[in-house]
Amino acid sequence: MCVALRTRMTKINSFRDLTVWRVSLDLADVCFDIVDAIPYPYKFTFANQLIPAGISIPSNIAEGSRRPTKAYLNHLSYSLGSHGEVETLFEVIHRRKLVPEALLAKGVVLIEPIGKMLHRLGESLELCLNSEHA
């Protein structure tokens, strides 16, 4: 699987080797914890949005890794969309003060690095795609 320039990374044999997949699983866990802490009038709404979006990030990384490079890029795009959704929901939760700040911070601290890693992985795949067609 072509994922990154050989001089910078070791060979990736599975999506499980990707740091972005492992960290996004941590984010999915935090999404569950945050929903558990949300008061009942709002819990159902956030459970229906935050948990699926949080799960979608690592799921699309995994699914895309099993597909051709162009399809993998599409799945990373879906992960990025879900990433934006989680980030926005965290902002709403913060503004409405629905959970303790320390709990929300556990997820917020993961958002930026996951976004950067998703973008870097996508750039690496673009390079691979371009080299396959060169």
Number of domains in the chain: 1
Is residue 37 in some structural domain? yes
Rounded mean pLDDT of 30-53? Answer: 98
Q: List C-alpha distances in Å: 33 to 23, 77, 107, 118, 132.
A: 15, 26, 10, 23, 42
Q: Would you say 10 and 29 are in contact if contact means Cβ atoms under 8 Å apart?
A: no
What confidence tens digit (pLDDT) does each residue in 54-95 have? 999 999 999 999 999 999 999 999 999 999 999 999 999 999
Is residue 5 in some structural domain? no
Is the pTM higher than 0.85? The answer reads yes
Q: Is the pLDDT of residue 12 over 80?
A: no
Structural domain span for residue 50: 15-132
Is residue 9 in some structural domain? no
